[in-house]
Structure 1
């Protein structure tokens, strides 16, 4: 049986899964996935490359964000993680869960106001949040944390940032996801105001906040049990 052309384009998704699983350079994986999707849809290689080039140049303003990465690297080299550790010590925040919960609230509120660029993995979690959480862990246990716990806290910091912005940004009326949902529903014959979509995103955001609070309490309890003699 011959596969439908629209199903063949799913090979692009398979390329992403295999590439990420094999830990290949993510930019290379994305480009190969885009080429695979184009080729499986029936277009020529030249047309596929031209299409990728067209959308790259049409959205070239997005590359401005890449200029942040060298700046973050310079700040890390200049001692930004050490400064963040000192800062969290002066605040008197006693546990990693408290640090992560406070950041979650700030991140979700800012995302709900449309300020999604205030946080992020590269510019906030790695140079600032992760060192703060590790410092709080050391203060809580009154000793240096293990490598396993360090990786655990870094993963929790990254997860908190993702969850907060994911459930918080839909509260903002003009976010792309709200406009996309309105368009999809309208094409399906359902007319729903963006105000309604934004309003009903609030219960999900509150539930995410409650679940995160419980998870952070359990994280502190687990760290407390590890630090017991």
Structure 2
């Protein structure tokens, strides 16, 4: 019997006693345990990865965010803004209306993570919307810039909220189904999803009108 791997427990106890960073203590203890058990470093790291993946500790978003950060550091926002400035007919309202349609359609088929506040709004959509506004309005004051950013974020929220209910395998549909079942109303998830389509269409029209009004305000203030 090999008792050396049990030293990992002592490392945990010692690390907590010294009030070191818990995550660092546990990581070092796990690495030490694997090495003392006779595993090579690659096997230890592979075991870590398998355990994290099997237990869903690391979500895909935590893998994507560092990539987005690197892209921003190397000029993603600036390139997006330059692209919009090169388009003659691009306006803030039209750009956000296009994004609203994309967000609703992808959410309706279950692709919720293909866009979002962190993934697309901050690094891409908001800078492009600001560039489109600056092209018509000139340099934006702080209030106008914040309004454009807020509308960019709101567009993502509206598209996701009213689009995801069309996808029948979503938690909200299951919750509605269960609630109705308690009152003796038995409906299939697909039936509920179908009735979410009119609401999604109205949300698109109403928010689309708000985006066109934003365009009009920007055009007036730019004259």
Q: Is the 8 A contact 1:93 1:136 kept in 2?
A: no
Q: Distance in 2 between matches of 1:192 and 1:59?
A: 33
Specify every segment of 5 or more residues in structure 2 that has no aligned partner in the other structure, as ranges.
Answer: 1-52
**Residue 95 (structure 1) shift:** 1.4
Question: Scaled by the length of structure 2, what TM-score is found?
Answer: 0.72
What is residue 126 of structure 1 aligned with on the other side?
122
* Residue deviations 1:143-177 (CA, integer Å, cap 9, x gap): 22222211110000000000001000111121221
90 and 61 in structure 1: CA distance in 2 versus 1, 3 angstrom threshold: farther
Q: What corresponds to 1:164 in structure 2?
A: 159
* 1:136 aligned residue: 132
Q: How does 1:3-152 map to 2 (within 5 A)?
A: 60-61=56-57, 63-141=59-137, 143-152=138-147
Q: State the Cα deviation string for residues 202-226 of structure 1 (Å, max 9, x = none).
A: 0100000110111011101111121
CA distance in 2 between partners of 1:187 and 1:62 (Å): 36
**Counterpart among 180, 188, 196 of residue 175 in structure 2:** 180
**1:64 and 1:102, CA in 2 relative to 1: closer, same or farther beyond 3 A?**
closer
Q: Is the 8 A contact 1:89 1:136 kept in 2?
A: yes
Structure 2 CA distance for partners of 1:91 and 1:115, relative to 1, 3 Å: farther
Larger Rg: 2
Choose which of 118, 139, 154 in structure 1 pairs with 2:149: 154
Q: How does 1:183-202 map to 2 (within 5 A)?
A: 183-202=178-197
SS of 1:173's equivalent in the other structure is coil
Q: Offset of 1:86 from its aligned partner?
A: 2.1
Distance 1:220 1:201 in 2: 29
Give me the CA root mean square deviation. Answer: 1.9
**CA offsets per residue over residues 78-104 of structure 1, 9 Å max, x none?**
100011112223444431001110100
**Deviation, structure 1 residue 187:** 2.9
Map of 2:212 onto structure 1: 217
Pair 1:115–1:63, CA change in 2 (3 A): closer
Deviates further, 84-93 or 104-113: 84-93
- Judged with a 3 Å threshold, the aligned counterparts in structure 2 of structure 1 residues 204 and 58 are, in CA distance, closer, same or farther, namely farther
Asked if the contact 2:173–2:193 (Cα under 8 Å) also holds between the matched residues in 1, the reply is yes
In the aligned structure 2, how far is the partner of 1:93 from the partner of 1:110? 25
Distance apart, 1:58 and its partner CA:
9.8
Distance in 1 of aligned mates of 2:169 and 2:210: 30
Aligned residues: 171
Alpha-carbon distance change, 98 to 178 in structure 1, aligned in 2, over 3 angstroms: same
Whether the aligned pair in 1 keeps the contact of 2:84 and 2:90 (CA below 8 Å) is: no
Q: Distance in 2 between matches of 1:86 and 1:161?
A: 22
CA distance in 1, matches of 2:65, 2:203: 29
